[in-house]
């Protein structure tokens, strides 16, 4: 359990602890920025695949078996990108929670 009084009684350790925590927080912020960048690209790619999927589904409704196979493939692409976005958001949430924990542990 974290005890702020224990830290304040040891000034040398407190300085080391703060430096280490700050380093971790900066690292987490960098990873969150990387995830945000990847989310931006993945969302754009998802919109592109959704557009293709809509066209493929319309073609499959009036087309032959090849159109239905292509519609199935494009539907799978959309699902795959949606899962990727969900995983990235989960990673981002986990990192944000870790960062909040580290910030709470920093002495005032």
Residue 8 reports pLDDT greater than 60: no
Give the total number of structural domains in the chain: 1
Tell me what the pLDDT averaged over the chain comes to: 87
Q: pTM of the predicted model, to two decimals?
A: 0.78
Are the CB atoms for 105 and 2 separated by under 8 Å? yes
Domain that holds residue 93: 22-102
List Cα–Cα distances, 27 to 16, 20, 34, 56, in angstroms: 17, 11, 11, 43
Predicted local distance difference test score (pLDDT) of residue 1 = 44
d(CA 88, CA 36): 8
Is 48 within a domain? yes
Q: Region 55-77: what's the mean pLDDT?
A: 90
Ramachandran angles phi, psi of 25, nearest 5° = -65, -45
Q: pLDDT of 69-101, one tens digit each?
A: 999 999 999 999 999 999 999 999 999 999 999
- CATH number of residue 83's parent domain: 1.10.287
């Amino acid at each position: 359990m974290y005890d702020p009084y224990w830290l304040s009684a040891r000034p040398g350790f407190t300085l080391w602890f703060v430096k280490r925590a700050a380093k971790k927080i900066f690292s987490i912020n960098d990873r969150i920025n990387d995830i945000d960048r990847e989310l931006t690209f993945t969302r754009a790619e998802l919109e592109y695949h959704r557009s293709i999927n809509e066209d493929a589904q319309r073609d499959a409704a009036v087309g032959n078996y090849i159109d239905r196979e292509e519609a199935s493939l494009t539907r799978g692409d959309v699902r795959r990108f949606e899962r990727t976005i969900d995983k990235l958001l989960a990673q981002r949430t986990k990192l944000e929670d870790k960062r909040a924990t580290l910030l709470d542990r920093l002495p005032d």
